[in-house]
Chain A
Amino acid sequence: MAPKKQIGNVLITSIIKVCGYSSILFVGLILVFLLKEGLPALKDVPLITLFNIRWYPIEGLFGILPLIFGTLLVTISATLIALPFGIGTAIFISEVAPRWIKEILKPIVEILAGIPSVVLGFIGILVIVPFFRKFLDLPTGLTAFTGAVLLGLIAIPTIVSVAEDALNTVPPGYRQAGLALGATRWQTIWGVTVPAAKTGILTAVMLGIGRALGETMAVMMVTGNAPVMPSGLNAIFEPVRTMTATIASEMGEVATGSQHYQVLFLIGILLFLLSLVINIIASAVSTKQRKRAERILS
């Protein structure tokens, strides 16, 4: 009996181990593949061409700067839009709303999270693009701003559900303690509950940014994809081309191993590094918090 049990244990442990290690392996393989295909670009394409402001690959112009700044512009604006809405909604659902509204809102947010981004892009083209053109009196509604709004919409459900979970795990004692000290409901939320859920809310924000950074389809449909170097405050209301949209729309046509192919992979590496940085920041913040918690428990 005992040896049989042991075999089962060993088996399950090793299966779990394999699963765990395989994810590391996959990430590693993806990185190796990206590096193998993308790094030659640094050798084959003159750096002066790469760090230029003109992207027109079919004529050998591989200036990636407008793409990088386009991505940053859209992602940062989307985050600025999604942050207050997402956290506000999370606070509303978790702290303020009466139970019946909570029970309606939560599934709605989940449905919003499940809408494919192509569908949102379609709505974007048909509704949001014309609306912004008329409302803001722009030459065209296909702008970075439209993309940012749409990305914000895509990132909000992620932020809401993770932030709401974080707020829910705050012990009710905190709220009661805040209230019992004569703080108002809002003072308790801002002064006690939100700070207590800080780590989780930060994770929510990082995941939201990651979602916005990686989104392709919706952005490709509404930002106009013009590789213009953003300059000045007005750039948000002009068309931009993001890194993801560039890879998605051009990867299909390129000949394997060509310069264009290598540069697209280089863009992939840059995206990988960007999301890596975001993840490192997120985990650095949460481990810092965890260390503090461990000190208290000991």
Chain B
Amino acid sequence: MKKFSVKDLSICYSDDNESLRKINIEIEANAITVLFGPAGGGKSTFLRVLNRLNDLADVKTMTGKVLFNGTNILDPKLDVIELRRKIGMVFSRPVPLPLTIYENVAYGLIMAGERNKKKLDQAVESALRQAVLWDEVYDRLSDSGFAISGGQQQRLCLARVLALEPEVIMLDEPTSALDPVSTSKIESLLTELKEKYTIILAPHNVQQAARMADYAAFFLMGELVEYSGGKDMFLTPKDKRTQDYITGRFG
């Protein structure tokens, strides 16, 4: 089943930098799709189109279509708030909100209008358990979100997204600021979560891409160079540029 169908997506920023050029891609549900490539290749821009977060950026022109469950999300009349609740996002640096741990997880639900304390409690616990953080923080939920380690903070950010019960989770270099132990915790967590969610991951290195990919897409200078299922691309890349990047000749 296809979660996203992207057709001829092009974006040009106000400073005339073309950021994405004619992207065509289909993203499968309940799988980890890995977007990789050198910095500035368009991965982050692509992710921010999918939840319309780049509405904030100075976009000059945007053409093409992005179908999410069959509806075009680039439609200006679309309810972006509703969209963003369905498509959660985790950023490269852990950004706990300046609130308590509990409030961080409950934030999205409270903003969505949930006032029932019991429901909130349940949702927070369930999200923290899914993010394998519950055992570490259950006794200090009213501490500041900053009072835990970086790895815990990043899992808190993930729990915050999970609490909203989204369909898609996007992660933009989620482990780039973390130590190897925290990184492997997050990676194994993602492998479990793909049973329930569609996961789009922009890893910060090729090794992680190869470890995690059910599907892989190689982005270079705003172009989608190569896209295929499985780990084939890392063993037998079809495109010369992909090969060069994987073998470490640039990037």
Contact = CB atoms under 8 A, between A and B. Distances in A.
Whether A and B are associated in the same complex: the answer reads: yes
Interface of A: 171, 173-184, 187, 191-192, 195-196, 198, 292-293, 295-296
Contacts of A181: 84-85, 88, 107-108, 111, 160-161, 164
Contact of B91 (A177, A196, A292, A296): A177
A182 B82 contact: yes
Nearest to B58: A99
Contacts of B161: 180-181
Mostly helix, strand, loop or mixed at chain A's interface? helix
Contacts of A179: 53, 56, 84
B108 A182 contact: yes
Interface string B34-57: 000000000000000001010010
Contacts of B56: 175-176, 179
B70 interface: no
B98 A296 contact: no
A191 B84 contact: no
A182 B164 contact: yes
Nearest 6 pairs between A and B by C-beta?
Answer: A182-B85, A181-B108, A173-B95, A180-B89, A296-B146, A183-B111
Interface string B98-130: 110000000110011000000000000000000
Nearest to A295: B147
B108 A174 contact: no
A181 B160 CA distance: 8
A250 to B, nearest CB: 48
B107 A183 contact: yes
A182 B84 contact: yes
A184 B81 contact: yes
30 contacts: A171-B95, A173-B91, A174-B98, A176-B53, A177-B89, A177-B95, A178-B107, A179-B56, A179-B84, A180-B84, A181-B84, A181-B85, A181-B107, A181-B111, A181-B160, A181-B161, A182-B84, A182-B111, A182-B164, A183-B107, A184-B111, A187-B111, A191-B97, A191-B111, A192-B97, A195-B97, A195-B99, A198-B98, A292-B144, A295-B147
Given A180-B89, A191-B107, A174 B97 contact: yes
B51 A180 contact: yes
A174 B108 CA distance: 13
Interface string B142-184: 0010110000000001001100100000000000000000000
Nearest to B163: A181
A296 B94 CA distance: 12
B84 to A, nearest CB: 4
A178 B82 contact: no
A178 B51 CA distance: 13
A182 B80 CA distance: 8
B185 interface: no
A196 B112 CA distance: 21
A295 B84 CA distance: 33
Contacts of B99: 191, 195
Contacts of A175: 56
B3 interface: no
B12 to A, nearest CB: 18
B65 interface: no
Nearest to A99: B58
A243 to B, nearest CB: 38
Nearest to B91: A173
A126 to B, nearest CB: 45
A184 B88 CA distance: 14
